[in-house]
Structure 1
Amino acid sequence: MIFASMQQLNFPAYPFRFKNRENKVHIFDQIRKKFIQLQPEEWVRQHVVSFLISEKKYPKSLINVEKELIINTLKKRYDVLVYHTDGSIALIVECKAPSVKITQTTFDQIARYNLTVKAKFLMVTNGIDHYFCKMDYEQEKYIFLKDIPAYML
């Protein structure tokens, strides 16, 4: 199997496309429409994208992957953003490699990103553990959820 070195994640199995280039395995990103070198964090990110499309029914056209974000003059890159049709942001996702524990630092990172994007929902995952939150902007806190809502028009 081409991706035998990648561990099983806590997501359904998805039919990913792979190819070898220069002795490195690449996975096809259906949002960016190109092959991306397969790294542990990318493995998680591709599962998240497939989860959002297949399980949560978010349209591909509303999903954005790995774009630059300016935070206090620093250039950062978010993992996944999901937009509403009006252009506001429904969800921001922070992906970590399966070997990376989800800690307060991870939540602090996504909270900093969210100060700029102002998403209604947050998801933090390392592919094994998933955390879902809804933002309460009036109380300035997150409300932890069992799951994120499916796409609604």
Structure 2
Amino acid sequence: MAVTSESTTVWNGSLVAGSGSVRLDSSKLAEFKVNWRARSEGADATTTPEELLAAAHSSCFSMALSHALSGAGHEPESIQTTAAVTFEAGKGVLGSHLLVSARVPGLSEAEFQSFAEDAKQNCPISQALAGIPITIEAELA
């Protein structure tokens, strides 16, 4: 079954002086302020498209890794993933770096690295980001 997720952004004004908000329509769980200054300078208490992309990447990766591990008989106790998405004005999104720590009883470090690399390559958000470098640091806790 295909599921479509929706968000709506309302923007007012020019890119540099304007601002807006993005609403999570499907879940109705949140609405976030957005502006250019936060995106280009890292300022203000607003989100950015890249922060939202990082949230999507870290959650998708964690789910893909959990699924692969469980499917192979290695039930994870926990997986913590931070995705750091880098943006530069004039160049765009430069890459996503995944920092992963997981507790998986009975799994060797080498086996874990193989599962983590596979999830990095094959989670749907990683596949959608195929045009940028994706790097990973993964460790068993």
Pairwise same-fold verdict (TM > 0.5) = no
Query: Which structure features the higher share of helix residues?
Result: 2
Larger radius of gyration: 2
Q: State the TM-score, normalized to the length of structure 2.
A: 0.30
Q: State the TM-score, normalized to the length of structure 1.
A: 0.29
